[in-house]
C-alpha cells in the first residue's frame, strides 16, 4: 500500500509541476492575485478550467498525501518528502510576489528545485522503498559535471525575471539580466548534455535533446507572445520530469 501511495504522491507532484507550466504558458500566473493558498471561489474557478486554481488544488492533494505518508510510515526519507512539500508551498507563495515584482526571481528558482525534489523523493521511495539514501540523488543533481539542479534553478530564475509578461529578446548580445540568465541556463543545459554523453546515459540524453528542442520553442513563444507563449512551457516541464525520473532510475 505504501508503494502505491508513494507513486500517487509522485504522480500528483508531477501533475502539479506540469500545471505550473500551463499556468505560465497561458498567462494565468496572477489569475488569483497574490491571495495564497486559496481564494473563496477557487473550486468554482477550477470548474471553469482556470489552470492556476487547478494547480493549487493539485498541490494541496500532494500535501495531504505527503502528510498521510509521514503518519503511516515515519522515516527520514518520508520526512524529507514532507518538508519538501512545505518548502514548495511557502516558495509557491513567494513566486506570486516575484510575479508581482515584490521579490527577486531567485525565489522562483528555489521553488522549482523544491517542487522537483518532492517529485524525486516519492519516485525514489516507489522504486527503492525506504532503505535508500535519497541524498545520493540530490548530490548527483548538484555536483559537477551534471548541474541538473542548476539548470532547473536558472530556468525558474528566467521565468521569474520574465514575470510571465516580458519577452526574452535577442540573446546573441545580452543587454539585460534576463537575457544573461537565459544564456546561463542554456550553457548549463549544454554542460548537462555533455555529462550525459560522457556517462553514456542514452535514454536521459535522448530526453534531454527533446527537452532542448522544446526549450527553444519556449524561447520563440516567449518572444512572439510573452503573456501566452503556449503549451510548449507545459511540455518543457513534462520532459524535465521525464529526465529526472530516468536519472533516478539509472543512479539510485
pLDDT tens figures, 150-179? 999 999 999 999 998 999 999 988 999 999
What average pLDDT does the structure give for the chain? 91
In whole angstroms, how far apart are CA 90 and each of 51, 65, 71, 107, 114? Answer: 19, 17, 21, 10, 10
- Of 198 and 136, more confident: 198
Annotated domain spans of the chain? 2-251
- pLDDT for residue 132 is more than 80: no
Burial label for 177, CB within 10 Å (0-12, 13-18, 19+), is exposed
C-alpha cell at 35: 491571495
pLDDT tens, 58-96? 999 999 999 998 998 888 888 999 999 999 999 999 999
In whole angstroms, how far apart are CA 206 and each of 13, 215, 246? Answer: 23, 14, 11
C-alpha cell at 76: 527520514
Amino acid at each position: 500500500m505504501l508503494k502505491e501511495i508513494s507513486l500517487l504522491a509522485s504522480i500528483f507532484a508531477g501533475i502539479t509541476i506540469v500545471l505550473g507550466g500551463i499556468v505560465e504558458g497561458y498567462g494565468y500566473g496572477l489569475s488569483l492575485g497574490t491571495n495564497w493558498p486559496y481564494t473563496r471561489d477557487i473550486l468554482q474557478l477550477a470548474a471553469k478550467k482556470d489552470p492556476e486554481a487547478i494547480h493549487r488544488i493539485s498541490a494541496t492533494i500532494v500535501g495531504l498525501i505527503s502528510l498521510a505518508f509521514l503518519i503511516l510510515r515515519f522515516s527520514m526519507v518520508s520526512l524529507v518528502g514532507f518538508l519538501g512539500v512545505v518548502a514548495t508551498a511557502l516558495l509557491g507563495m513567494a513566486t506570486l510576489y516575484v510575479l508581482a515584482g515584490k521579490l527577486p526571481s531567485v525565489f522562483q528558482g528555489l521553488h522549482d528545485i523544491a517542487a522537483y525534489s518532492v517529485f524525486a523523493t516519492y519516485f525514489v521511495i516507489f522504486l527503492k522503498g525506504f532503505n535508500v539514501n535519497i541524498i545520493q540523488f540530490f548530490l548527483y543533481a548538484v555536483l559537477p559535471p551534471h548541474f541538473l539542479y542548476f539548470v532547473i534553478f536558472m530556468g525558474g530564475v528566467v521565468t521569474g525575471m520574465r514575470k510571465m509578461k516580458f519577452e526574452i529578446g535577442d540573446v546573441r548580445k545580452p543587454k539585460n539580466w534576463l537575457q544573461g540568465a537565459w544564456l546561463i541556463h542554456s550553457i548549463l543545459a549544454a554542460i548537462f548534455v555533455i555529462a550525459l554523453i560522457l556517462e553514456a546515459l542514452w535514454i536521459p540524453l535522448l530526453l534531454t535533446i527533446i527537452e532542448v528542442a522544446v526549450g527553444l520553442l519556449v524561447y520563440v513563444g516567449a518572444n512572439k507572445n510573452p503573456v501566452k507563449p503556449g503549451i510548449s512551457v507545459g511540455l518543457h516541464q513534462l520532459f524535465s520530469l521525464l529526465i529526472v525520473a530516468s536519472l533516478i532510475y539509472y543512479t539510485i
